[in-house]
Amino acid sequence: MAFLIALSIILTRILSLRIAIGGVEGIRIGFGGLPIIFAGIAFGPLAGGIVGAVADVLGYMINPMGAYMPHFTLTSLLTGFIPGFIVYYLFRGNRSFWTMLVAIAVGQTITSVILVPVFLQSLFGVPLQATLIPRIVGQALHIPVYAYLIKVLLNYSFIKSAVEIKAT
C-alpha cells in the first residue's frame, strides 16, 4: 500500500498536466488515480480508501496545490473504495475486464465526473459547464485504460501472489 501511495503522489503531483480554470486547477490529466483504484480492486475497498486518503494528504504536505480542502481527500478516498467495494461485494471478487470496467466507471463517474466539479463550483465558484464536459471526455478515455492496465497488473505472478496472500 505504501508503494501505491508513493506512486499515486508522483503520478498526481509531478507527472500530470494541470489546466487552470478561473484561477484554480479545473482539469488534471494524468494517471494518479490508477494506483488508488488498483489498491481497491486488488486488496479491497478499505485498502483502496486508505491509499486514496493518505496519498491525498501526504501529496498535499509534499507539494501543496492551493489550500487544503478535505472535500478532495474524501473524493480520493472514494476513488479507491467504490471500485473495490463493487468488485469484492457486488461481483464477489470476479476480476474480469468487464467487471473492472463497470466498477471503475461507476467509481470515476461518482468521484471525478460528479463530486469534483460540484466541489470546484461550491468552493471556488468554477462553473459546472467549464469542468463537466472535459471530465466526461477525460474519463471516457481513462476508464478503459485503467481497467486494461489493472487487468494486466493483476496477471503478473508477483502481484497475483500478494493479492492471494491478502485474500487468505
> Residue 97 maps to which CATH number?
1.10.1760.20
Task: Tell me how many degrees the CA angle 157-160-162 measures, rounded to the nearest 5.
Answer: 115
Domain range holding 69? 2-167
Q: How far apart are CA 56 and CA 43, in angstroms?
A: 19
The more confident residue out of 122 and 163 is 122
State the average pLDDT over residues 68-97: 96
Residue 158 pLDDT: 61
Name the one residue in this structure whose C-alpha cell is 490529466. 29
157 pLDDT higher than 60: no
DSSP-assigned states of every residue in 44-77? -HHHHHHHHHHHHHHHHHHS--SS--HHHHHHHH
Residue 22 pLDDT: 62
Structural domains of the chain, count = 1
Beta bridge partners of 140: none
Per-residue pLDDT tens for 7-66?
999 998 888 877 766 665 556 678 999 999 999 999 999 999 999 999 999 999 998 878
Phi, psi dihedrals of residue 156, rounded to the nearest 5°? -70, 135
